[in-house]
Amino acid sequence: MFTRPMQCFTVLLLLLLAVAQVDAIERGELSSEEIGRAVPFAVLIPDVEPAEKLPLVLLLHGAGGDREYVAQLEPSIRELWQSGELPPVVFASASVPAGTIYMDEKSGNAKWESFMMKEFLPHVQRSYPVLASREATIVTGISMGGGGSARFAFKYPDVFGAVAIMEPAIWPGVTWDEVPRRHKFRQPERLAALFGEPFDESYWRANNPASIVADNAARIRDSGLEIYLECGDQDAFGLHEGTEYLHRVLWDNRIEHEYRLVRWADHVGSSVPDRSLNRFRFIARYLAQPMPEEPGVEGLRNYKKTEYRKMGYETLPFWPNEAKRLTSEESSP
C-alpha cells in the first residue's frame, strides 16, 4: 500500500505526464478580408524552450482536406522529431475548401493566394514562436497543395527559402496550347471561375508553375530557392506528366532541385506516408545547410577536375553537368 507521500508523488507524476501528452496543435480562426469570412487554421508547435523561435513550414493540404492535415501528419512528424531526423519546426495549415485551389480566381470570388500570403502567413509569423526570415520560411504541400506550394515558392522566392512539392496538381505545358487535352479535365464553369470567360491564357500562364519558372528563371535561380519535387509514376490523375514537365523546365533553366519519380507509386495508397517523410527529410537537410565539407567528396571532385582538364573538359558546376570543350587558352594550367 502507498504511503501518503508516495500517493501524492504518484498523482503529481500522472499530472505531469498528462500535461506532457497534451496535444501541441493549436486551432483557431482568422478573420479574412480577402475571403470575406473567418478561415479555420491549425498550428503544430514542438515542445521546446518558450523563448526559442523556430523555422516555419507552411503546410498546404490537398483537395477535400482542411486544417486537420496537420493532425494527420503529427504522428509521423513526432517520430522524425524523436529520432532527430527533423529539427524542431512549426507547422501551420489553413482550411481551403474543395472546388478551389491555392490562387486568386480571375472571377474574384475566391482569393486564396492573397489570403495565404497577405493574411495567414503574417498572422502566424506575428502570433507564434517562428523566425520571419526567408531562410526559415518553407512551404510544402500535396496534390492541390503541391500545386499551391509550387505556385507560392516560384512567385515569391524572396519569401520562401525552400519548397517541398509532392504529387502536384499542375499542368504539363508553358502555354495553354501545349497542355494535352487529357490534362484540361476541369469543368468549364470551374475553368471560367479560375481563368475567366473567355479563357484568359495570360492569367493562366501567370499562375501555372512551369510557366512561372520559364518566365522568371533568372530570378528563381539567383534567389537560391531550394526545391524538392516528387510524384508517383502511376499517378491516377496523370500528375506525373506535369511533375516531369516541371522537372525538365527547372533542369533546362539550370535551377538546382531534387526530383523523384517514385516507381509503382500512385496518388494515394501505402507509398504516400513514406514519401511524405522523405519531403520532411529534405526540409531537414535544407535546414542543416551548409553541411561540413567531406574530405572524400572534395578529394574526388578535385581529382576528376584535374583529369577532365587534362582531356580538355571542364566539369564545374557539378549540377547540372555542363561539361564542355575548353579552348586552348582555358585548358592551360
What average pLDDT does the chain have? 89
What is the Cα–Cα distance from 191 to 188, expressed in whole angstroms?
Answer: 5
What is the predicted pLDDT for the residue at 91? 98
Closest to 95 measured CA to CA, from 153, 145, 138:
145
- Given a contact cutoff of 8 angstroms between Cβ atoms, the answer to whether 147 and 116 are in contact is no
Q: Locate cell 471560367: which residue?
A: 192
* Residue 267 near residue 167, CB atoms below 8 Å: yes
> Is the Cβ–Cβ distance between 69 and 166 less than 8 Å?
no
Q: Does 20 have pLDDT greater than 50?
A: no
Interval 282-317: pLDDT, tens: 999 999 999 888 999 989 988 988 888 888 877 665
Whether residue 262 contacts residue 232, with contact meaning beta carbons closer than 8 Å, is answered with yes
What distance, in Å, lies between the first and last C-alpha atoms of the chain? Answer: 85
Helix (H) or strand (E) holding 304: helix 295-310
Lowest mean pLDDT of 239-248, 266-275, 296-305, 320-329, name the range.
320-329
Question: Cα–chain-centroid distance for residue 151?
Answer: 10
Rounded CA gap, 213 and 257, in Å? 13
Please tell me the predicted confidence (pLDDT) of residue 311.
87
CA distance 46 to 29: 20
pLDDT value for 15 = 38
CA–CA gap between residue 26 and residue 128 (Å, rounded): 10
Cell numbers of 323, please?
561539361
Percent of the chain's residues with pLDDT above 90: 77
> What local confidence, expressed as pLDDT, does residue 50 receive?
73
Residues 106 and 144 sit within 8 Å (Cβ to Cβ): no
Q: Which grid cell is 265? A: 507509386
Domain segments of the chain as ranges? 20-287, 296-331
What's the pLDDT score for residue 316?
62
What is the arithmetic mean of pLDDT over 30-56?
Answer: 94
Question: What integer is the mean pLDDT of 7-21?
Answer: 39
For the stretch 185-198, pLDDT in tens is 788 899 999 999 99
Residues 6+ apart with CB under 8 A from 123: 30
Query: How much is the pLDDT for 283?
Result: 98
- 3 state DSSP class of 115: helix
Closest CA to 212 of 255, 261, 177, 267: 255
Reply yes or no on whether the pLDDT at 51 is more than 50.
yes
Helix (H) or strand (E) holding 164: strand 162-166
Using alpha carbons, list the distances in angstroms from residue 268 to 96, 112, 132, 153.
Answer: 20, 25, 33, 24
Determine how β-strand 258-262 pairs with β-strand 56-60: unpaired
Taking residues 141-159, what's their average pLDDT?
98
Contact predicate 310/301, CB 8 Å: no
Decide if 116 contacts 58 (C-beta within 8 A).
Answer: yes
* Short-list 149, 174, 158, 148, CA closest to 283: 149
**Listed residue (289, 317, 292, 34) closest to 138, CA to CA:** 289
For residue 104, name the pLDDT band (cuts at 50, 70, 90).
Answer: very high
pLDDT band at 319 (very low <50, low <70, confident <90, very high): low
CATH of segment(s) 20-287: 3.40.50.1820
The DSSP letter of residue 109 is S
What's residue 313's pLDDT? Answer: 79
Helices (H), 84-120: 112-114
Q: What is the pLDDT of residue 98?
A: 86
Question: What's phi and psi for 241, nearest 5 deg?
Answer: -70, -45
Q: What is the pTM of this model?
A: 0.88
Q: Which of 23-27, 83-87, 134-138, 215-219 has the least mean pLDDT?
A: 23-27
pLDDT digits (tens, 9 = 90+) for 206-246: 999 999 999 999 999 999 999 999 999 999 999 999 999 99
pLDDT of residue 321: 54
